[in-house]
Amino acid sequence: MIARILTKTNRFSCSFLTDFKYKGAKTMYKPIDKLQHSFLDFNQPMGLHMNPDNRWVRLADRIPWDEFEVKYAKLFPSDTGNVAKPLRMALGALIIQTKFQFSDRELVEQIAENPYLQYFIGLPGFREEAPFDASTLVLFRKRISADMLMEVNEYLLAHKEDDKDDHTPPSVGKSGDDGTAKEDTNKGTLTLDATCAPANIRYPQDISLLNEAREKLENMIYCFCKCYGLKLPRRYRKRARKEYLAFAKSRKHTAKKIRSALRRQLGYVKRDLGYLEQFMSDGYAMTGKDIGLYLTIIRLYEQQQYMYDNRIHSVEHRIVSISQPWLRPIVRGKVKAPVEFGAKFDLSLDSEGYGRLEKISFEAYNESTCLIEAIERFKERTGY
């Protein structure tokens, strides 16, 4: 569950019930008041009885919301802007979404209809309207860090082990030759495996990436000229689109056709980049959103031009998605999917069946280094 929340991978509004001050200054975060005295009086519809053994009620009582809320509040030192949503609402919503694989809109509707889910995210009582809209979930994913999710996971696993120790009778060690108890120094099992969480992107092809980059550059040029009243330069939009469709619809893609199509698309992208560079050199500014896209397309063009000139098909830190430039190709070696695109992570499973995310990265890495670190952490937790 934690791994899925992390591969997603992604300023809130609303006022809260208590005043909160961090380091003596006003902040735009206020923790939720402890108004959930009893779920039996949760303002539920008439005739609906709340079950105290419901899985969401039990899970809500196990998570230390207050401890993590203190760390979460430090992300909001500013004294201006709207007050943020509480940690319990943000983290609880992401846990529910990961559990059922809901979309953002479906998750909002499910929370509005289910009193148990509303109790889990910390609402003081049941209400028919949704506590937030679907766009807020994007901000939740940006605010909840990987370290915070790992701390929540470790806390839950540690308390499960404590509960088991309270109900387990003390074990009797084996007697040695001198009559003293002999303690086992090697026991337990740790299973570690590396895999990839594939992202939901189109399979990357060099020509399709360059065509997408060209279309985005053309829109940026149009916005530039419209905003500043400039004359639109010649961009060859129809010709470039026609050449791309002719290649995409052809059944046989020979090496000669591929190189010819790449050369043409590289030329169109280079021309459009030159127009934007000329606009900025003349003193015209680009919007903040377009700056990141512009830099990504420059890197993509440099990589594709390098591979074209050297007749190779791989390059370091290769961009496979313009909208998600942090994704990298991960070699799996499987027959069905030899290469996947997404986050690579190591997942460990101990003898009790508890899973932990040992490492996660969008860059490919050697699993041997993570193996030693995972074993050392296992020894710190268990003592053997």
**Which of residues 253, 277, 310 is at a domain's end?**
310
> Is pLDDT of 15 > 80?
no
Banded pLDDT at 28 (limits 50, 70, 90): low
Whether residues 6 and 142 fall in one domain: yes
Q: Is the pLDDT of residue 315 over 90?
A: yes
Q: Is residue 190 domain-shared with residue 220, that is, in the same domain?
A: no
In terms of residues, how long is the chain?
384
Compute the C-alpha angle 342/219/280, nearest 5°. Answer: 100
232 and 263 assigned to the same domain: yes
The pair of three-digit structure tokens given for residue 363, joined into one six-digit string: 């860059």
Contacts of 345 (CB under 8 A, 6+ apart): 3, 6, 7, 194, 195, 196, 197, 357, 358, 359, 360, 361
**Average pLDDT estimate for 286-313:** 94
- Residue 301's identity, in one-letter code, is Y
Residue type, 375: I
Q: Are residues 117 and 230 in the same domain?
A: no
Contacts of 321 (CB under 8 A, 6+ apart): 199, 201, 202, 204, 327, 341
Q: Is 102 exposed, middle or buried (0-12, 13-18, 19+ CB in 10 A)?
A: middle
Q: Are 146 and 91 in contact (CB under 8 A)?
A: no
Confidence category of residue 280, pLDDT binned at 50, 70, 90: very high
User: Cβ(215)–Cβ(269) under 8 Å?
Assistant: no
C-alpha distances out from residue 90 to 17, 100, 131, 150, Å: 17, 16, 11, 16
Q: So what's the pLDDT on residue 37?
A: 45
Residues 11 and 123 in one domain: yes
Residue 137, domain member (yes or no): yes
171/358: higher pLDDT: 358
Structural domain containing residue 121: 2-151
Does the residue 160 lie in any domain? no
| Residue spans of alpha helices (H) in 126-231 | 136-143, 146-166, 206-228
Whether residue 7 is found in the same domain as residue 94: yes
pTM, two decimals, is 0.70
- 233 in any annotated domain: yes
pLDDT of 95 higher than 60: yes
In a domain, 84, yes or no: yes
* pLDDT tens-digit readout, 102-130: 999 999 999 999 999 999 999 988 888 99
Residue 19: pLDDT band with limits 50, 70, 90: very low
In a domain, 300, yes or no: yes
6 and 114 together in one domain: yes
Residue 164 domain flag: no
The average pLDDT across 88-108 equals 93
- Total number of domains constituting the chain: 3
Residue pLDDT, tens place only, 209-264: 999 999 999 999 999 999 999 999 998 999 999 999 999 999 999 999 999 999 99
On whether both 231 and 272 belong to a single domain, the answer is: yes
